[in-house]
Amino acid sequence: MALIAPSILTADWLDLRGALRAASTADIFHLDVMDGHFVPNLTFGPPLVAAVCAETALPVECHLMVERPGDLLGRYAEAGARRLIVHAEATPHLHRLVEEIHRLGAEAGVALNPGSPLALVEEVAGDIELLLVMTVDPGFGGQSLLTSQLRKIREARTRFPDLAIEADGGINAQNAGDVAAAGAGILVTGSSVFARDSNPAERIAQLRAASGR
Ligand code: DX5
Ligand code: ZN
């Protein structure tokens, strides 16, 4: 069965404490940091990450959808993020960023947009803990899964057998089995856990069960 990483992007931000508690049966919390430049949306900074880290016992990862990740790594590590995920498309110095993340004491993840080939990560694949394959174009929750990315997940599973592979975007109980079968061991999911009037614990259990089929 896959690990489940709820994204709080689509949670009720006016009751974030309640959302974290309702989803506390998950494995990881996934925080989508957006700077309004790398993606056309703006979300939250280190203070909110610190508040989430103080509120939950689960590991917190920051998905940094930002233009200058190197400028921000220290602040998100200091806020308590266990894993920092940077986009390969956001830097010409990916190896240096990975080393900096490790120097800060966090796990290093690299994310690839749907239009980016696995080749962008092959030189650092042996140095990182996680590869995040975007299954939507980044910037917003509630989008539909791009099934074209399942091939990329399958190829990554074959080429990088020791690497944790995470899929992010448009994942629900109907497609979680396909995404996990392709090779994703961690499923990021926002709107299918925090949908209005949903029971996050039930949704998480459904996703886990669906991923194990
Ligand atoms: C999109 C984010 C995803 C998104 C997932 O840019 O990286 O983590 O919030 O939300 P859903 O599951 O609604 O696609
Ligand atoms: Zn994300």
Write down the catalytic residue from 35, 137, 168, 178.
168
Question: In which residue are the tokens 């995404």 written?
Answer: 179
How would you write the pLDDT of the chain (213 residues) with one tens digit per residue?
899 999 999 999 999 999 999 999 999 999 999 999 999 999 999 999 999 999 999 999 999 999 999 999 999 999 999 999 999 999 999 999 999 999 999 999 999 999 999 999 999 999 999 999 999 999 999 999 999 999 999 999 999 999 999 999 999 999 999 999 999 999 999 999 998 888 999 999 999 999 986
For residue 70, give its domain range: 3-211
Q: Tell me the sheet residues that pair with 166.
A: 132, 186
**CATH code of the domain covering residue 17:** 3.20.20.70
Name the residue of 32, 33, 44, 198 whose CB sits within 8 Å of the most ligand 1 atoms, as the mutation to test its pocket: 32
Distances (CA, A) of 78 to 72, 98, 169, 204: 10, 16, 27, 29
- 32 included as an active-site residue: yes
Look at residue 195 in the predicted model and tell me its pLDDT.
Answer: 87
Look at residue 213 in the predicted model and tell me its pLDDT.
Answer: 62
Domain count, the chain: 1
pTM higher than 0.85, yes or no?
yes
Residue 30 contacts by C-beta under 8 Å, 6 or more apart in sequence? 5, 6, 7, 8, 61, 63, 168, 188, 190
